[in-house]
Amino acid sequence: MASRATIERRTDSVPVQKDPDILAAAARLAGEDLCSVGDLSSGEVRAILKLGHEVKRNPREYRHALDAKQMVLMFEKASLRTRLSFETGMNTMGGNAIFVDQTSSPLGEREAIADVARNVERWVDIIVLRTYAHDTITEMAANSRVPVVNALSDFEHPCQALADFMTLEEHFGTVAGLNFTYVGDGNNVCHSLMLAGAQLGANVTIATPRGYSPDIEIVTKAREMAQANGCEVNLTQDPQAAASGADAVYTDVCVSMGFEHESTKRAPIFRPFQVNEALMQKAAGNAVFMHCLPARRNAEVTDSVLDGPQSIVFDQAENRMHAQKALLLLLLGGLANVPAFSEQ
Ligand code: CP
Ligand code: NVA
C-alpha cells in the first residue's frame, strides 16, 4: 500500500504566525493574480508551502478566514481534482464556490474576455480559470480588479506544482538539494514544476522526446531562478540517465487535453519514456513516484508503479486542497481574520 506521506519532519523553529516569508507574502500577494509560478518569488513559493502545511495541521483555525467570500471557477476543460479541491478548500474556510462550466462555450466566444472580467468582478472576490489558451488567463487578469488564478492552461499548471512540492516537503522534510526528475511531455505541468523546483532549490532534470522539450522561455527563466537558488535545471532526451539517482520521478500524460488529435502520432514516440519498474530501479532506493493525475494506466506509467509502495500520487491530490487554501488565504487577505495572525 502506498505510504501516506504525512511524516512531520519539518523543523521550522519560527512559529508560522511570525514567519518572515509568510508575513511578506501576505503583504505582497493580497489582491494579486497567479497566472504563472514565475509570478512568485522564491520566498513567496516557500510561504505558500509553509502556510499549506499549517492549514493542513490546523484546519479549524482557518474555518472562518474567508467568511462570505465568493469564488467563481470558470472551466473550459474537464476536472476532478482541481474543481473539488478548490471548492472544498473555499467551503471549509467559510467562503462559497460557484462553478461555471465553459466546456461548450470557451471564454471570449460569446463576449470579449475583458467584458467578462468587468462583469464578474462586480459579484465575486476571486476568479479561478481553467483554459486552453494561456492568454485567456492573462487577459482576464489584466482586466479584472479581483485576483485571477490559473487552474491550468495549455502553458502552465501552477497550483499543481505548489501542491506537488508541498508533498515532497512532507515526505523528505525539505526539497532543497533534492534530485527531481520529470519524464515525458514538456507540457503545462512540466513548466510549472520546473519553475517551482528552481525557486525551491531542487535540482530539476527533464527528460522528453526530441521535439517535445519544454518551452525555451520557461527553461531560461527556470535556469535563472536555479542559479539564484543554488540548484540546476537540466534537459535530456535519455529517460534512464534522468532517472538515475533521482529522489522523485514524475510523469504526466503524453496527450494533454486539447491535443487528443495527436494521440496516434505520440504513442510510439513516448513509449520509451514510460515510467515502469525498470526505470524506477535506476532511481534512489527511497525515491518516490509522482503524477498529477489523471493517469493513462499502462501508457505513461505502469500499474505496478502507480499502485506501488513508492507512489505518492494520492497525497499529491490531497495536498491540492491544502496548498490552494494557503494561496486563497494570501490572495484574499484571509490571515487578517485568523486570531493567531491578527492578534500577534
Ligand atoms: N491534476 C489535475 O489538475 O486534475 P484535474 O484535471 O482532475 O483537475
Ligand atoms: N497535462 C495534463 C494535465 C492534466 C491535469 C493536461 O493538460 O491535460
For the stretch 177-195, pLDDT in tens is: 999 999 999 999 999 999 9
Q: What are the C-alpha distances in Å from 4 to residues 64, 229, 317, 332?
A: 28, 29, 12, 31
Residue 244 Cβ < 6 Å to ligand 2: no
Cross-sheet strand order for the sheet of 288-291: 233-236, 203-207, 179-183, 248-251, 288-291
Opening angle at CA 163, ends 162 and 165, nearest 5: 70
* Residue 181 Cβ contacting ligand 2 at under 6 Å: no
* CA of residue 303 to ligand 2 center, whole Å: 19
Which one, of 247, 239, 198, lies nearest residue 218 by Cα?
Answer: 198
Best probe residue, ligand 1, of 292, 314, 316, 318 (max atoms within 8 Å of C-beta): 292
| Catalytic residue ranges | 130, 157, 160, 252, 292, 320
pLDDT tens for each residue of the chain, 344 residues long: 333 333 334 445 688 999 999 999 999 999 999 999 999 999 999 999 999 999 999 999 999 999 999 999 999 999 999 999 999 999 999 999 999 999 999 999 999 999 999 999 999 999 999 999 999 999 999 999 999 999 999 999 999 999 999 999 999 999 999 999 999 999 999 999 999 999 999 999 999 999 999 999 999 999 999 999 999 999 999 999 999 999 999 999 999 999 999 999 999 999 999 999 999 999 999 999 999 999 999 999 999 999 999 999 999 999 999 999 999 999 999 999 999 898 76
State the distance from the centre of ligand 1 to the C-alpha of 90, rounded, in angstroms.
Answer: 17
pLDDT at 6: 37
Q: Does ligand 2 come within 6 angstroms of the Cβ of 317?
A: no
Which domains are assigned to the chain? 4-156+320-338 (3.40.50.1370), 159-317 (3.40.50.1370)
Could you identify the atom of ligand 2 that is nearest to the CA of residue 259? 8
Residue 84 Cβ < 6 Å to ligand 1: no
Nearest ligand 2 atom, CA 185: 1
Return the best residue to mutate from 194, 256, 262, 296 for the ligand 2 pocket (most ligand atoms within 8 A of CB): 256
Q: Does the Cβ of 132 fall within 6 Å of ligand 2?
A: no
pLDDT of residue 342: 86
Q: DSSP assignment, residue 112?
A: -
C-alpha cell of residue 52: 499549506
Residue nearest to atom 1 of ligand 2 (CA): 256
What's the pLDDT at 344? 65
Only one residue has cell 486563497, namely 328
Q: Whose C-alpha lies nearest to ligand 1, atom 4?
A: 81
Residue from 80, 99, 187 whose mutation best tests the ligand 1 pocket (most atoms within 8 A of CB): 80
DSSP secondary structure, 60-102, as one string = GGGTTTTTT-EEEEEESS--SHHHHHHHHHHHTTT-EEEEEE-
d(C-alpha 230, C-alpha 64), whole Å: 39
pTM of the model: 0.96
